[in-house]
Structure 1
Amino acid sequence: MSYRLQITSDGVLGRFANQLAAVGEKKAKQALQRAIAHTGDKAKTQVIRALTKQTGLKRDVIVRAVRIRKPSYDDLRYVMTTRGGDISLQYFSPRETSKGVSATAFGRRAVHPGTFMKAGWWPGRVQKDNWNGQVFRRTGNITRKGEGMDEFEKVDSGVVIPDQMVKGMTLAAWRTVAERDLANRVGHELGRMLGGR
């Protein structure tokens, strides 16, 4: 699954038509490219901040998941993309309790009943090195003799970064920065070019 957010110059071309014509096509594209890149970087910062709160993931995980394509002279678009699926519960600061594993998916700590991270009986539970901090749920039928206790599956969180990026406070942060700052930045870049003539 993959989604993207983008900033283009479509909304500001009419407002700055005279100034864009005055600097010429080459400098106009350069001004738009700089303005879109600057505004896009500001929006990216806000999106990463909002996505961190919205998903409950650590900031470095979000930074690695988001890809940026900055505007070029020929393609005046700032594009932010991400892809991926349901993220494992292990990335949400899991802690094992007697009722199940407690984790912070969607920015809220909650207990997932029947899940576990360690092996053995309470209170002598032990960490298994090859489980790598994963969270599991039993899938087998447990009998009195302990049969079926070795059948389990990894538990996912329900958080999908591409879905979260295009809704809620993350999308609002992107739109707010893009709508608020792009026109001002285009005016700033054109002012530098016209003032320097």
Structure 2
Amino acid sequence: MGSGWPFLVKAADLLGVAMFSVGEVNVKGLLQFENMLGALGEDAPKAVNRAINRTGDMARTQVVRTLAKQTGLPQKTIRKSVKVKRSSWDDLTYTLKSAGGDVALKYFQKRETKKGVVANLGTARGRVLFPRTFFRGGAFPRRVDLSAFGGHVMDRMSEQRFHLKKVKSGVFIPEEMVEGATADAFERSVQQNLPRRLDHEISRLLGL
């Protein structure tokens, strides 16, 4: 599950199969819509497209919320990382995709102690101490933020004053997105909402 592994909300050969594949999630109970889709004729992809996009948007909301809790990152950071490719009539696929490497510790809730920086890395890891690290200068307890660091947490590579490196968290958003609570939240959202949204869109076009 490397960088860029996507979640897919996909209608696989919809009119012929009447089975949706949602990434690795099979949504059951959709066979009931086969005849209704047939009655729509050329308008069938319109109903499916709307249902997939609405379902995908709802799933994305759950992914962002849950992934923020799982990693300890702000939701705005998660939203920037999780990209969306929406479904269209020609390509009935809604994709959530994330890319990126080891997230810098600066983006997490953190505090500096005499032993090092303690950061909240979410429900998956809890609060973690990074020994010897710092992001402030001066003497305890009156240390102040250093603008030169730009909020980054630093570690000393040697006794030389400016021989420093930025500290990473060990958290990779693409990996976290397809594991644990976030993956479960995505699956539940799709399983609950896709049949309901499809029923709504078909009924609307049939005037039911």
Q: Could you tell me the TM-score, scaled by structure 1's length? A: 0.89
What's the secondary structure of 2:118's corresponding residue?
Answer: strand
What displacement does 1:186 show?
A: 1.1
Deviations 1:10-49 (A, max 9, x none): 425643221111111x210000001101111110111011
Offset at residue 126 of structure 1 (A)? 4.2
Q: 1:92 aligns with which of 93, 101, 108?
A: 108
Q: 2:156 aligns to what?
A: 138
Q: Provide, for residues 80-131 of structure 1, a one-character-per-residue CA deviation record: whole Å limited to 9, x for no partner.
A: 1110000000011222111111111234223211111123444554432211
Kept in 1, the 8 Å contact 2:9–2:93? The answer is yes
Q: Which of 172, 179, 186 is 1:167 aligned to?
A: 179
Q: Is the 8 A contact 1:50 1:169 kept in 2?
A: yes
Write the distance in 1 (CA, Å) between the matches of 2:116 and 2:155: 9
1:50-103 deviations in whole A, cap 9, x for unaligned?
000001001111111111111101001110111000000001122211111111
Q: Partner of 2:131 in structure 1?
A: 113
Tell me if the contact between 2:155 and 2:164 (Cα under 8 Å) persists in the aligned partners.
yes
**Aligned mates of 1:52, 1:152 — CA distance in 2:** 29
2:72–2:109 CA contact under 8 A, matched in 1? no
Structure 2 unpaired stretches of 5+: 13-18, 21-29
Match of 2:163 in 1: 151
Q: Distance in 2 between matches of 1:14 and 1:58?
A: 40
Structure 1 runs of 4+ aligned residues shifted over 6 Å read none
Q: Tell whether the 8 Å contact from 1:66 to 1:81 is kept in structure 2 after alignment.
A: yes
- Among 14, 22, 33, which residue is 1:16 paired with? 33
Query: 1: CA distance between counterparts of 2:136 and 2:63?
Result: 35
SS of 1:150's partner is coil
Residue 28 (str. 1) matches residue 40 (str. 2): no
Report the 3-state secondary structure (helix = DSSP H, G, I; strand = E; otherwise coil) of the residue aligned with 2:145.
coil
8 Å contact kept, 1:89–1:105: no
Gaps of 5+ in 1: 143-147
Q: Which residue of 2 aligns with 1:50?
A: 66
| Residue identity matched to 1:56 | G
Is the 2:68–2:122 contact (alpha carbons within 8 Å) kept by the matching residues of 1? no
Aligned length: 189
Greater C-alpha Rg? 1
Work out the CA distance in 1 between the residues paired with 2:141 and 2:176. 38
Aligned partner of 2:6 in structure 1 is 4
- Identity over aligned pairs, percent: 40
